[in-house]
Amino acid sequence: MNCAHCPPTIERAIRAVKGVQTASVNLATQTAMVDYDPAQAKVAEILRAIRSVGYAAGTATTRIPIKNMHCTSCATRVELALKMTPGVIAARASLAPNVVDIEYQPERADFQELRRSIESSGYRVAEPKVKPTDETLDPAEAANEQEYRGLMRRFWLAAVISLPVMALSYPDLIPGLREWMPMGSDTRRIVWALLGVLSLPVLLWSGSQFFVGMWDALKHRAANMHTLISIGITAAFLYSVVAVAWPGIFPNMALAEVFWDVTDVVVALVVLGLALEIKAKGRTSQAIKKLIGLQAKTARVMRDGKEIDLPVEEVLVSDTVIVRPGEKVPVDGKVSAGSSAIDESMITGESMPVEKQAGDEVIGGTLNKTGSFRFTATKVGKDTALASIIRMVKDAQGSKAPIQRVVDTVSGYFVP
């Protein structure tokens, strides 16, 4: 797309596809935003429509939030499943934001196929059921917040129950309980049986996600962290049931102990660890949210001799942009008229405003302090300095060092 006549041509071609509701092509960012009904239109059909009018559409990228991905073996398994999907060029799963970035050919693979590949590896696409309270909260963050709250509820139930269970499981260590619950007595067996009933909600509710994760892995003939935890807590629980119900099968029935507390404490600690992990992941995105908040939302541009306010996404290279005192510079450019002092601390760290005159360069996202000026846009959309910083931070957040890939490969042989 090289001129103002290109976007309308592409928009008409896209709108002609059955199921497409709206289409908006941005010349500055070389992208098209399409609102369509997936039941009637497919991405491949939209791409063919674009190509039919003489324009090229490259590969697409998408970021999908993943549920219950907690270790490096999880991320590796998701990546392998996606890379085996026809049309997928690259896949990179990251534990920090709990997402997978996918580069694919839309004419060969669509979202549903990507979803099926993820689910075939034993994991699920996170779909938040709560509406984000912050306009900057994306679906991945909303899903993480929802999962964090659910995990904390499970943790508190397990923690509250584990305290009395631990105390009454070892009466010989607590003065006063030894006489009330002597070894081998019916009183001890009855109390231990009640502790088992008390621990049942911890196993079946607080620890339910481990069994779900284990079952998902077993369906695909795989094992993961949930498999290890499920086997451990189930073994401790079932042994305790046998020790209380049929103590005679043990060589010395008086020494048969119960391990309800093992089930409760393991579930509580692991669930707490998962919750804290999700909270830490959420904090890693705060820097990106703050950077995005620095971007201007609108720009005052000269078009046909008139000043008009436009969304910053519609500013074109070579547009004349007007900035008044107290406003943010919307895009990168070079001052053509006027002068002012601009606060560039968000980019350079310089605390004092920098004087700008005709011929000086200005950076999008910086704050105009004193005078009014006009400048010619030189970089817009994803090419601005601030957009580049945001993009690099996101890439760094999801990237892996070469040594980490080696560690992931080696650990995959030892940890399921």
pLDDT digits (tens, 9 = 90+) for 115-173: 888 888 888 887 644 443 344 445 566 667 788 899 999 999 999 999 989 888 877 66
Would you say residue 106 has pLDDT above 80? no
- Asked which of 93-102, 193-202, 300-309 is least confident by mean pLDDT, the reply is 93-102
Question: So what's the pLDDT on residue 404?
Answer: 58
Mean pLDDT of 202-227: 82
Mean pLDDT of 221-234: 83
Contacts of 349 (CB under 8 A, 6+ apart): none
CATH class of 59-127: alpha beta
Strands (E), 259-311: 298-303, 306-311
CATH class of 1-58: alpha beta
- Asked which of 52-56, 79-83, 87-91, 366-370 is least confident by mean pLDDT, the reply is 52-56
Q: Is 390 helix (H, G, I), strand (E, B) or coil?
A: helix
Counting every residue written for the chain, the total comes to 416
Would you say residue 408 has pLDDT above 70? no
Contact indicator for 264, 199 with CB cutoff of 8 Å: yes
Name the CATH architecture for the domain at 295-391: Distorted Sandwich (2.70)
Question: So what's the pLDDT on residue 137?
Answer: 47
Q: Is 353 helix (H, G, I), strand (E, B) or coil?
A: coil
Say if pTM beats, i.e. exceeds, 0.75. Answer: no
Q: Say what the alpha-carbon torsion angle 132, 137, 140, 141 is, to the nearest 10 degrees.
A: -90
**Local confidence band at 183 (pLDDT 50, 70, 90 cut-offs):** low
Would you say residue 396 has pLDDT above 70? no
Phi and psi of 386, rounded to 5°?
-65, -40
